[in-house]
Amino acid sequence: MWRAGLTLENSESEFTARFAEYAAQGTLYPQREGSPLMEFSAGGRVLYLFDRNGPYAAKAGPAHVIVHGVLEPEALTLLPGPQQEKLALVGVSALEGQGRVLAISRQICVVQARIPLVLAAFTPLPQCRPEDWVSFRTTAPLHGFVLG
């Protein structure tokens, strides 16, 4: 995934290996013929994820999936003190919510918000550290990387 010379991932396999420990556990449902979206149920939510492993590669049933979203510009905000995890669907394949930061790098913030989410930004992220609480909003579509 890239934008004007800015890269968030080098390859699907590199991204999957890098963020495998943050895969959400849930259930994949059979894909509709001709649809690039996987239906994934986890954390009490049903998410529609753009299949990054190849069309129809994912098998229906229990699965570990890295849920990856791109943040809307300036849509990651530091919150005071402990909060309650929240996760809501926006349209067909975007999210908003709040959660605890698990890991952070220059362009990527991993947030626990009912499920682990690997959230990336094309703009600078606010200064935050693991254990901080943040609110967020992603653009559509969410991406899904199914582990082996």
Neighbours of 93 (CB within 10 A): 19
Structure confidence at residue 56 (pLDDT): 67
Structure confidence at residue 1 (pLDDT): 53
Nearest to 51 by CA among 70, 71, 41, 65: 65
Counting residues of the chain whose pLDDT is more than 70, the rounded percentage is 93
| 116-127 pLDDT tens trace | 999 999 988 999
Structure confidence at residue 26 (pLDDT): 98
Report the predicted TM-score, pTM, of the whole model to 2 decimal places: 0.92
Q: What are phi and psi of 104, to 5 degrees?
A: -150, 140
Nearest to 137 by CA among 45, 50, 71, 68: 71
Question: Domain residues of the chain, as ranges?
Answer: 12-147
Buried b (16+ CB within 10 A) or exposed e, 116-145: bbbbbbeeebeebeeebbbbbbbbebbbbb
Angle at 86 between CA 84 and CA 87, to 5 degrees: 165
Structural contact between residues 28 and 65, judged by C-beta atoms closer than 8 angstroms: yes
